[in-house]
Structure 1
């Protein structure tokens, strides 16, 4: 089993995957653990950026760029503006629960151990993946030829959601 770990860590791409995966998982755990909303948004942005790094490793540069541009940038900024524009009452601090945190750590370590064991004992198919020359062009071809109806339905859904948000915001002002 340790020979597999040594072989895994001998490749730089695998080390980068391990680092980005740990950052993504850590950011998600911090986002759930923090009590201040701004800290939660920063942890969520760390998760989004880590996911973009994983997309780069998978040679999906366009998806990584969109991940950073839309999620890490736009969504995080939108959440911060939403926090700044709304009124918040001071909340009491939650009591410290050391037993709860200990059980949480034991459960997470157990889950990690089970996943690690399953990955080490699994036999994965080997093969060569041939990526297209231009990922962005292939995504565009699929999006506007094969998946044009879902793409247009999504744009209509987003427009309706935007109009609905404006209507709800106007009602709250009155």
Structure 2
């Protein structure tokens, strides 16, 4: 009935899919924030593996470096540096839960219908570059150098602002 050839890429896809899905489910299931961050890091690493399968090595590297590494570490430090008080359990709201479930199902139905009726075409001139990282670097430092530099200035200002806010709270 189904003619499926089991290759290494096929197996890797399902391994990464299981890592991503289980990490996402665990992320919303855990109650301790540190466990949630570890689950989120597993999702980020699974996504990086998917990017490698799609031959987007640069995006996979950035995914590991920025998200799985830096963002996860930042979240852990943020958790460790803030004071947490015990939260009270929120009252159960069955009406809100039912409306949320209906809204989620409606959104799923609309998205499923939109994806099914959409016809995507590939441009004739499109061809993947031999070295994706080299092409991204050329574009970044020629055509998009001003936005690239503005983002670096913005991140520096945000970092300095975070330090100033943290110092005020410590005093």
What TM-score comes out, normalization by structure 1 length? Answer: 0.72
Partner in structure 1 of residue 147 of structure 2: 150
1:31 Cα offset (Å): 5.0
2:137 to 132, 137, 140: 140
Partner in structure 2 of residue 131 of structure 1: 128
- For the residues of structure 2 that align with 1:10 and 1:144, how far apart are their CA atoms? 42
Question: How many residues of Structure 1 are paired with residues of Structure 2 in the alignment?
Answer: 169
Cα deviation digits, residues 31-76 of structure 1 (max 9, x gap)? 5676543344344334433443443344321012101211122101
SS in 2 for 1:144: helix
Partner in structure 1 of residue 159 of structure 2: 162
Range 51-60 or range 69-78, more displaced: 51-60
CA distance 1:101–1:29, change in 2 (3 Å): farther
Cα deviation digits, residues 105-135 of structure 1 (max 9, x gap)? 3432332233222222222224564210111
CA RMSD of aligned residues (A): 3.6
Q: Which runs of 5+ in 2 are unaligned?
A: none
1:19 Cα offset (Å): 8.4
What TM-score comes out, normalization by structure 2 length? Answer: 0.73
- For the residues of structure 1 that align with 2:60 and 2:44, how far apart are their CA atoms? 10
Q: Which runs of 5+ in 1 are unaligned?
A: 1-5
1:80 Cα offset (Å): 1.0
Q: Aligned ranges for residues 70-149 of structure 1 at < 5 Å?
A: 70-126=66-122, 129-149=126-146
Partner in structure 1 of residue 169 of structure 2: 172
Partner in structure 2 of residue 3 of structure 1: none
